[in-house]
Amino acid sequence: MLSKRNKEVLFNPLSNDNPVLVQILGICSALAVTVKLEPAIVMGLSVIVVLSFSNVIISLMRKTIPTSIRIIVQLVVVAALVIMVQQFLQAFSYDVSKQLSVFVGLIITNCILMGRLEAFALNNKPWPSFLDGVGNGLGYMIVLVIIAFFRELLGSGTLFGLTVIPNWCYEHGYMNNGLMILPPMALITAACIIWVHRSRNKDLQEKSN
């Protein structure tokens, strides 16, 4: 089940081959859903589901797909899955679907999906493709959660909607940083995470000339 290669496929995207930190994919949605922790987590879970299943489906179809229309085929599969996730959420978990509203639709445009379908699922068997989807989805979710943690803590003084900064801080002049709520701070936070990540992983650093 989990051979050495499969383990690499599953765990590499968490750090060494992280889709956001190393491949710099999916930045746009990292910026849109990271104001609060809760939507960030649900978005991460939805991406894991859609990515792993679209990987499996494309992998099953990989021998029949004509090369010149493969991107269209991938898009149709992803879009169909996303619409299905949306429909099921609306039928069985209406509150969550209300919270996610536009974000689920955003998954279709997430570059990580197309990237993984193109780079992995088209050339690999279904089981490794499934693991690859779970791994990359998790790698994406971890980064979202870290960014959302800092943005919610510093921007609204809350975590999961609960106030964590004690009142006496506000009484002594502490203020929530409104800038953290705005999109640019997501990029700056992501850049800080990449900086820390690269400085701890020497082999990822680009060689200077």
Nearer to another protein, 9 or 78 (CB): 78
Binding flags for another protein, 153-172, as an x/- string (CB under 8 A)? --xx----------------
Q: Does 28 bind another protein (CB under 8 A)?
A: no
Measured CA to CA, the distance from residue 75 to residue 162 in angstroms comes to 39
Measured CA to CA, the distance from residue 147 to residue 73 in angstroms comes to 33
Measured CA to CA, the distance from residue 112 to residue 51 in angstroms comes to 8
CB 28 within 8 A of CB 109: yes
Structure-token match 């978990």, residue found: 93
Which residue in the set 2, 178, 188, 192 belongs to the binding site for another protein (CB under 8 A)?
A: 178
Residue ranges in 86-115 that form contacts with another protein under rule CB under 8 A? 87-88, 90-92, 94, 98, 101-102
CB of 69 to another protein, least distance (A): 6
CB of 77 to another protein, least distance (A): 8
Q: Does 71 bind another protein (CB under 8 A)?
A: no
Q: Which helix (H) or strand (E) holds 137?
A: helix 126-156
Measured CA to CA, the distance from residue 106 to residue 94 in angstroms comes to 18
Structure-token match 């800038």, residue found: 179
Site of interaction with another protein (CB under 8 A): 35-36, 39, 64-69, 72-73, 76-77, 80, 83-84, 87-88, 90-92, 94, 98, 101-102, 152, 155-156, 178, 181
